[in-house]
């Protein structure tokens, strides 16, 4: 159980790039990082508009001289301070992640980066090599993975409770962009522009989330080949898709499916993962994150509840309040940031034992997300054909 105990000798001196006033995702980064006293926000380059970024940083209580006009200025100035930043989170539009992440690693910082990590596998591998050679961690905010019942699913699958895994059915299909909302909304506008969003919209923006959940739950399963088709139902979004279907063959003969969509009219998130084995299935839905459905063929379905003593001990490690009280996305993100901090601290102390026991979305997860999108786009743009997974 997480109870606010001190887990690192000192809070990590931390900054943000992006996540400024009015951004969608900035607040949950701060809330998650600051929840368990593992990070201390001391600096930031919060906004593409320097004046707005400075005003926002000071409104958060930062010293005005540590609210910078740009990330370049921040990394250079903080490197000169004895109490300079040790880590940075990147919460800017996709097209900037690669350059900022690279600059941060070169500046000797640990990084938490938004997904997608970058646009190409080549860039992702370069970042991975840089992180390894500089002995820095890169955490990637696949935030849903911090939900306790994802760990429960992983443990049950590893225990063989589902039998042989046959099918992994996934979707993240919301309806918020069923119309061209980008005409009035800047945060959607960059998402449908390849210059800022990269080679895909919904595959990278939402599809990679359940894909990462499947990687956590099924660490042994590897994709062998896939077939993807993508569409732009709002025509002005072409060549970027607002809907995509991806079929996957795994090396063990299992099949996978991911529906990624922003035009599932009437749906909220619609993020679900169902893992189907020869004996039973598990299903988790992010709009009801405190429940996991366990369905054994021929028996009544069971709903496993977060925080209950019948869960696997590894799932209960992340509990914060006990069953019945609802936990949500903010707790899930806090569970990830908590691990990011422990990983950064353990890396600095070269504590390999602690690092090997720690699971979190790391640079490898970031690379795999980019790889999946790249393969999906390759298949879709060749006419929706099966391609070997590269
Ligand atoms: P947004 O457009 O709402 O906000 C982007 C912020 O970054 C703004 O404050 C903007 O001023 C700032 N910014 C842009 N360029 C900058 C630069 N060069 N330097 C400093 N600040 C800069 O975007 P958002 O919806 O918050 O998304 C940001 C990132 O978070 C994206 O990569 C997106 O994919 C990701 N995201 C992840 C999740 C998740 O669940 N992990 C959810 C939403 C968004």
**Cis peptide before 239, with omega less than 30 degrees from 0?**
yes
* Atom 25 (ligand 1) nearest CA: 24
Taking the CA of residue 191 as reference, the ligand 1 atom at the shortest distance is 34
Domain spans in the chain, listed from the N-terminal domain onward: 12-144+337-362, 147-323+368-388
- CA gap 49, 167 in Å, rounded: 47
Ligand 1 in reach of 48 Cβ (< 6 A): yes
Ligand 1 centroid to 192 CA: how many Å?
14
The answer to ipTM > 0.90 is yes
Give the β-pairing of 223-231 and 243-250: antiparallel
CB 306 within 8 A of CB 291: yes
Render pLDDT for 139-186 as a digit per residue (tens, 0 to 9). 999 999 999 999 999 999 999 999 999 999 999 999 999 999 999 999
Q: Is the CB of 301 under 6 A from ligand 1?
A: no
End-to-end Cα spacing for the chain:
40
What span, in angstroms and rounded, lies between the C-alpha atoms of 302 and 307? 15
Fold assignment, 147-323+368-388: Dihydrodipicolinate Reductase; domain 2 (3.30.360)
Q: For ligand 1, is residue 18 a contact (CB within 6 Å)?
A: yes
Ligand 1 proximity of 25 Cβ (cutoff 6 Å): yes
Give 58-109 pLDDT, tens digit per residue: 999 999 999 999 999 999 999 999 999 999 999 999 999 999 999 999 999 9
Which residues have a Cβ under 8 Å from the Cβ of 85 and sit 6 or more positions away?
A: 13, 14, 15, 42, 43, 74, 78, 109
Among 69, 91, 174, which is best to mutate for testing ligand 1, by the most ligand atoms less than 8 A from CB?
91
pLDDT of residue 203: 98
> Could you tell me if 137 and 362 are in contact, meaning their C-beta atoms sit under 8 angstroms apart?
yes
Residue 347: CB atoms within 10 Å: 17
29 within ligand 1 shell (Cβ under 6 A): no
Q: What is the pLDDT of residue 206?
A: 98
Bridge pairing between strands 87-91 and 110-113 = parallel
> Following CA atoms 345, 351, 352, 355 in sequence, which dihedral angle do they give, to the nearest 10 degrees?
-30
Q: Which atom of ligand 1 is nearest to the CA of 186?
A: 2
- Return d(Cα 263, Cα 177) in angstroms, integer: 6
Q: Is residue 208 within 6 Å of ligand 1 at its C-beta?
A: no
- Alpha-carbon span 94 to 204, nearest angstrom: 10
* Most ligand 1 atoms within 8 A of CB, residue of 92, 139, 172, 200 to mutate: 92
Q: Which residue matches tokens 């060749």?
A: 382
Low-confidence ranges of the chain (pLDDT < 50): none
Ligand 1 geometric centre to CA of 342 (Å):
25
262 lines ligand 1 (CB under 6 A): no
Nearest CA to ligand 1 atom 3: 23
pLDDT in the model for residue 6: 84
Nearest CA to ligand 1 atom 35: 114
Fold classified for 12-144+337-362: Rossmann fold (3.40.50)
Q: Which atom of ligand 1 is nearest to the CA of 187?
A: 2
Atom of ligand 1 nearest to the CA of 92: 7
Identify the three-state secondary structure at position 282: strand
Residue 241 CA to ligand 1 center (angstroms) comes to 20
At residue 4, the pLDDT reads 86
- Whether ligand 1 lies within 6 angstroms of the CB of 141 is answered as yes
What is the Cα gyration radius of the chain? 21
Measured between alpha carbons, how far is 308 from 292 in angstroms, rounded to an integer?
12
């Amino acid at each position: 159980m997480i109870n606010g105990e001190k887990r690192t000798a000192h809070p990590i001196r931390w900054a943000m790039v992006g996540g400024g006033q009015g951004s969608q995702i900035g607040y949950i980064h701060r809330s998650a990082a600051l929840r368990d006293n593992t990070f201390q926000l001391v600096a930031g380059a919060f906004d593409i508009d320097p004046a707005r970024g400075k005003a926002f940083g000071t409104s958060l209580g930062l010293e005005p001289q540590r609210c910078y006009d740009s990330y370049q200025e921040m990394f250079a100035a903080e490197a000169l301070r004895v109490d300079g930043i040790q880590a940075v989170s990147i919460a800017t539009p996709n097209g900037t992640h690669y350059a900022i992440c690279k600059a941060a690693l070169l500046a000797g910082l640990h990084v938490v980066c938004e997904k997608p990590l970058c646009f190409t596998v080549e860039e992702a591998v370069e970042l991975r090599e840089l992180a390894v050679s500089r002995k820095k961690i890169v955490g990637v905010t696949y935030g849903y993975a911090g939900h306790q019942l994802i760990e429960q699913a992983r443990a049950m699958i590893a225990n063989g409770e589902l039998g042989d895994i046959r099918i992994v059915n996934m979707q993240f299909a919301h309806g918020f962009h069923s119309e061209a909302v980008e005409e009035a909304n800047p945060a959607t506008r960059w998402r449908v522009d390849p210059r800022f969003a990269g080679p895909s919209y919904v595959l990278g923006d939402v599809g990679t989330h359940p894909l990462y959940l499947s990687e956590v739950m099924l660490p042994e399963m590897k994709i062998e080949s896939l077939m993807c088709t993508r569409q732009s139902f709002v025509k002005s979004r072409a060549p970027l898709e607002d809907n995509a279907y991806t079929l996957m063959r795994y090396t063990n003969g299992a099949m996978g499916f991911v529906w990624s969509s922003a035009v599932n009219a009437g749906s909220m998130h619609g993020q679900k993962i169902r893992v189907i084995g020869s004996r039973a299935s598990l299903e988790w839905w992010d709009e009801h994150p405190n429940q996991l459905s366990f369905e054994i063929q021929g028996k009544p379905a069971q709903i496993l509840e977060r925080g209950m003593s019948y869960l696997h001990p590894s799932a209960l490690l992340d509990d914060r309040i006990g069953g019945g009280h609802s936990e949500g996305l903010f707790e899930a993100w806090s569970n990830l940031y908590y691990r990011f901090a422990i990983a950064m601290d353990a890396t600095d102390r070269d504590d390999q034992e602690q690092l090997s026991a720690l699971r979190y979305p790391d640079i490898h997860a970031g690379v795999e997300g980019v790889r999946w999108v790249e393969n999906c786009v390759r298949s879709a743009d060749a006419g929706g054909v099966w391609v070997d997974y590269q």
